[in-house]
Homo-oligomer: A and B are copies of this chain.
Amino acid sequence: MLDVIRAAGTISRVGLVKATGFTGATISTVVRRLIDDGLVLESGRAESTGGKRRVLLQLNQSSRFAVGVHLDHAGITYVLTNLGGSVVARMSRAGVGTDDPAVIMERMATEVDALIDGAGVDRSRILGLGLVAPGPMNQISGMRVSPPTMRHWEDYPLASALETATHLPVVLDNDATAAALGEHWSGDVGGTSTFAAIYMGTGIGAGLVVNGITYRGASGNAGEIGHICLDVNGPACWCGARGCTEMLAGPGAVVSAARADAALARAAGLAESPERPRWLADFAAITRAALRGDARAKQLLENSARHLAIAARTLANVMDLEQLVLTGPSLAIAGSIYLPVVRDELDRAFFSRATHSITVRLSRSAATAPAIGAAALVLQSELVPLREGLRLPDNLGDAEPTGQPTSR
């Protein structure tokens, strides 16, 4: 319900009737309650359609808030969003590094406090905290399989620890999935039923949102397009396969190819074999060189884009997507180079293109997308009734009675 109002931006009660299928009576009482709770505001009138003018409703954006935290090796990003998913306050702090989880927990609690206090938001209006991190997350406890750099976090009871530290309800998820959800809430995805966010950071992943809820797969690993084969004869990957997207299109591949080219490395200003690889800075430098017109840099990036585009098409074909968003740190930098290539690939060879188009766009907040998505997780869990589990049909006995009267 709230989700419908949010997705529509502004909508009347009659509009809600059509959108939800509920009766006018139901809508009336529900909306009444939402207004009483301060979640929804009446915000004007629509033009008459022959009778009484419709009263337009919209979310009271600043009635409730959610905290989103993106936990990563390189940095922790905090955002405070309102009900609409718009960022009210944002903060970036040092990453996890090799610190002990318990230490980080304490630090996060104080930093979250700082975020909330800095924005001047009443704590009672905060619905909860969403925490996302790389790798699949166990919904209840914490990380199942963590990337090498965060190995010591494995099986740490993230949710419960953070709940006691911050006194806020905590929900967990994978960062790519969160990024997709964030786009669904903050971006103008509208009523799109199936879409994905391709997230390119160090690795390449994708988050999937189907009918407004995230698709996680059996173990939270869904959307793993970083390790699908684009070339049977391609280079071997650490995952056990060959020709994976990550090997052919990943920022790591781009950076190491640039390093191998002495002239390019010099032109782009890459540090020569630094002790600590700063791939993101290097990737940004290569992008700048390409935008300046450096042919070799441009070729490198377009090669990467071409491969990413093919992975995107695979994802779009398998999931039969309507919309695709490019996001993540790497695409925040080089998105303008990747976007046309991906668009072209899908225009040319998306399997269902005859039936329906697929729109591709860049995220407007690629760098903070996962954190925003983390907050969106909270918004969703609080506002969208999750119809999990099996429920009873409405008409169990009405299936073609064969003579016996259905006793009521």
Residues of A at under 8 Å CB distance from B?
Answer: 1-4, 7-12, 14-15, 18-22, 26, 30, 33-34, 36-39, 43-47, 49, 54, 56, 58, 63-64, 122, 124-125, 127, 136, 144-145, 190-191, 193-194, 206, 210-213, 215-225, 227-233, 239-241, 306-307, 310, 313-315, 317-322, 348-349, 351-352, 354-356, 382-385, 387-394, 396-408
Contact = CB atoms under 8 A, between A and B. Distances in A.
A262 B82 CA distance: 71
Given A218-B193, A225-B318, A7 B392 contact: yes
Contacts of A394: 385
B30 A396 contact: yes
A196 to B, nearest CB: 10
Given A218-B322, A318-B222, A127 B400 contact: yes
Contacts of A239: 349, 351
B393 A318 contact: no
B406 A37 contact: yes
Contact of A399 (B20, B127, B144, B392): B127
A14 B225 CA distance: 42
A401 B19 contact: no
A231 B228 contact: no
Given A314-B228, A396-B33, A398-B10, A1 B220 contact: no
A399 B37 contact: yes
A18 B396 contact: yes
A111 to B, nearest CB: 22
A225 B315 CA distance: 10
B191 A217 contact: no
A63 B404 CA distance: 12
Given A194-B218, A227-B317, A317-B228, A56 B402 contact: yes
**Which of A14, A206, A384, A396 is packed against the most chain B CB atoms within 10 Å?**
A396
A4 B396 CA distance: 11
A324 to B, nearest CB: 12
A151 to B, nearest CB: 13
A53 to B, nearest CB: 10
A188 to B, nearest CB: 13
Contact of A56 (B306, B349, B401): B401
Given A228-B313, A396-B18, A352 B318 contact: no
Contacts of A232: 230-231, 306-307, 310
Contacts of A322: 218
A219 B194 CA distance: 10
**Which of A228, A230, A382 is packed against the most chain B CB atoms within 10 Å?**
A228
B387 A391 contact: yes
B8 A45 contact: no
Nearest to A19: B392
Given A18-B397, A222-B319, A124 B402 contact: yes
Q: Please provide the 9 A-B residue pairs with the shortest distance between their CB atoms, ordered closest to farther.
A: A217-B320, A191-B392, A44-B402, A211-B389, A385-B393, A241-B349, A240-B349, A15-B396, A222-B320
